[in-house]
Amino acid sequence: MRYERQVKKKKRKWKVFLLIILLLVVGAISYSYFQYKQGVSQSLDKVDNQTIVQEEYEFNGEKDRYGGTNVLLLGSDSRGEEQSRADTIMVARYHPDTGSYKLISIMRDTYVEIPGHGENRINTAFALGGPELLRETIKENFDLDIQYYAIVDFQGFVHLVDEAFPKGVKIDVEKKMSENIGVTLEPGVQYLDGEHLLGYVRFRHDAIGDFGRVERQQKVVKQIGSQLTSIQTIPKLPKLVGVVTPFINTNMDTGDMLYIGKDFLSKENRNIDSLRIPVDHSWEDATIKGASVLSIDLEENKTAIHDFLVEQKSPIE
């Protein structure tokens, strides 16, 4: 009898324990959903509840040969407009096995073959056929597979920065900047809010033009990643995803974004390696059909990409 009472007592303890775990899980899910919806509502309020039309794109991407997840990141300065410009072209790479994060920036004036449309600047592919044609262009020229796309309106970037960093993002501004960016930036170390940080990454009216802009874009991505370590961001992650959702057009579902974001924020080593295409000494300025372009050595840049992405494991057969 005593043995049976002990068994029943242990069973009751396990039931109580499992019930507590279940309640915690349900509570966490409910809290995350509430935070996510709050972020969405907050962004819509900031744009006066105007309707944000998000076009659905066909995208036939897949994981790369090394098992990594590549996301085509496109920065756009217009919503709901035809022929919107892809001013920023990046490929963000996450490898779930090694937990590594890498970033490739492709110069928008890179002269390449666009499938079905002949040779042109690479950002023309987006205007001609959306993210799918740009994916095909990158695959054909650089043999790089991309699984997802995310088109981020610049205002979404501003709201995300302001929500994640109420005091601003610490940046060392290297020179005075003002031309065609809507704000004036003075040189020196300072904390920039979303609007001023956007101006910083868009500035290109100096001697190095787009090369300087791409360098600043990568610098800001790394700074944001680094400064996320100093705040309690994981509990805010669902809200941050909600804040940017109205301004992002992507084939990633919310769960994918939360998973990759949570994995990044929970790691001690959040280093982001970066690469610019074209790489140094592999390009030259050219004028083709009256347009200034970057004529590149395709094989050298293709090799640079694969050397950059390869992990310490064999390719998937």
Residue 142 lies in a domain: yes
**161 — alpha (psi -120 to 50), left (phi > 0) or beta?**
alpha
pLDDT beneath 50, residues of the chain: 31, 49-51, 79-82, 313-317
Residue 317 lies in a domain: no
Residue 316 lies in a domain: no
Closest of 72, 75, 108 to residue 294, by C-alpha = 108
Residue 134 lies in a domain: yes
Domain boundaries, position 236: 12-310
Output the pTM of the full model: 0.80
Residue 127 lies in a domain: yes
CATH of the domain at 220: 3.40.630.190
Residue 293 lies in a domain: yes
Q: Whole-angstrom Cα distance, residue 71 to residue 57?
A: 15
151 forms beta bridges with 74, 249
Q: Tens of pLDDT along 230-259? A: 555 666 677 777 777 777 888 988 777 767
Question: How many domains, in total, are found in the chain?
Answer: 1
The answer to whether 120 and 104 are in contact (CB under 8 A) is no
Residue 2 lies in a domain: no
Residue 1 lies in a domain: no
Q: Tens of pLDDT along 202-230? A: 998 887 888 999 999 999 988 887 776 65
- pLDDT for residue 314: 42
